[in-house]
Amino acid sequence: MRVLGLETTCDETAASVVELKPGGGGLIRSNEVRSQIAEHAAFGGVVPEIAARAHVDMIDHLVRRALDEAGLELADLDGIAAAAGPGLIGGVMVGLTTGKALALASGKPFMAVNHLEAHALTARLTDGVAFPYLMLLVSGGHTQLIAVLGVGEYRRLGTTVDDAIGEAFDKVAKMLGLPYPGGPEVEKAAQGGDPERFALPRPMLRRPGADFSLSGLKTAVRLEVQRRGRLIGSDVADLCASFQAAIVDVIADRTRGGLRLFGQQFGTPTCLVVAGGVAANGAIRHALARLSTETGVTLALPPPALCTDNGAMIAWAGLERLQLGLIDGMDFAPRPRWPLDLSAERVHNGKA
């Protein structure tokens, strides 16, 4: 079984072909990703209109390259999957429309994939992880701890009450005059810094539950920058190291809380899975490996290239859904917001 997956929810245009292995798990036959960092760097962040136009320019070429690399034609596929949200609506529309057109032209089943579900299921592609497991999703727009009970079955155990972790990294980088995207730049600078020089807060540390809060930490960095007026010598490296150390402590503590909640509600998880672009951060990966050893819970860390946005995760999620007969119609609408756990979203918005 082979599925083509398309990803266009933010600033990566991606196309991939994934094949189901006979013993479970998947084989990535191709994984083409075109980043738009250069287009957005001058603005210090993603500009939705520029992103959408770039997706339009690149999507057809990437589909062709993905099929060529896999040695396949459309007729050889068993289905077409495209990310239908959440994300920037212009970009989502490009990938979704392209996926529908390919499915319609080839007569193949079409699967509209939730981008967050694709992240949640990636460890099943790479590590063959069995349900149920706990996922820590850390990216530019999302910070959540989610119980993954099955395809389409998710319970949110914790989320950020303000900034996402990736957003906090980017904002701190901007304060310190580091280039976009900020996360990798903060990590790079932190390697040469003193993580104990600045006493930054650890919001929500040892609080009940598994929610996150990052705005206070971000504000503490801003106040430190303002207090100094001009950053000299090792100031930037030390601030980055201190900030990253605080983030690492918060993630470890909140994830420990998520594991406790999972155990109370669903029993022992088969695994702790980490997903999202921030999961490529080496210090965070090391801290989670240490937490895994302490708690005795197996850790699944997909390769960094599969933690950031890519087409392989969309293709795999589409393949999982196709196996269960979860096929979508050509009338499926793009969704700029699409929470995995609708019941948690209703409670969060005061509608329960």
Length of the chain: 352
Residue with tokens 């949110």: 156
**Strand segments (E) across the chain:** 2-7, 12-20, 26-35, 79-85, 110-114, 133-138, 143-150, 153-159, 272-275, 299-300
- The CA angle 20-282-41, to the nearest 5 degrees, is 90
Average pLDDT over residues 262-277: 96
The structural domains of the chain, with segments of one domain joined by +, span 2-125+305-348, 131-301
Instruction: Decide if pLDDT at 153 tops 60.
Output: yes
Instruction: Decide if pLDDT at 31 tops 70.
Output: yes
Instruction: Decide if pLDDT at 314 tops 90.
Output: yes
Which DSSP symbol is given to 329?
-
pLDDT value of residue 345: 62
Average pLDDT over residues 180-205: 96
pLDDT value of residue 38: 85
Average pLDDT over residues 195-206: 96
131-301 and 2-125+305-348 share a CATH fold? yes
| Percent of the chain predicted with pLDDT > 90 | 89
pLDDT tens for 53-111 read 999 999 999 999 999 999 999 999 999 999 999 999 999 999 999 999 999 999 999 99
Contact 306, 313 (CB under 8 A): yes
Cα distance between residue 212 and residue 203, in whole Å: 7
Instruction: Decide if pLDDT at 350 tops 50.
Output: no
pLDDT tens for 219-256 read 999 999 999 989 999 999 999 999 999 999 999 999 99
Cα distance between residue 239 and residue 231, in whole Å: 10
Q: Exposure of 337 by Cβ count < 10 A (0-12 exposed, 13-18 middle, 19+ buried)?
A: exposed
> Average model confidence (pLDDT) for the chain?
94
Average pLDDT over residues 4-27: 94
pTM for this model (two decimals): 0.94
Instruction: Decide if pLDDT at 315 tops 50.
Output: yes
Q: Which residue has the higher pLDDT, 9 or 352?
A: 9
pLDDT value of residue 155: 97
CATH class of this structure's domain 131-301: alpha beta
Residue 104 amino acid letter: L
CATH number (3.40.50.300, 3.30.420.40, 1.10.238.10, 3.40.50.1820) of 2-125+305-348 reads 3.30.420.40
Cα distance between residue 300 and residue 204, in whole Å: 25
Instruction: Decide if pLDDT at 205 tops 60.
Output: yes
pLDDT value of residue 266: 97
Which DSSP symbol is given to 29?
E
Q: Exposure of 227 by Cβ count < 10 A (0-12 exposed, 13-18 middle, 19+ buried)?
A: exposed
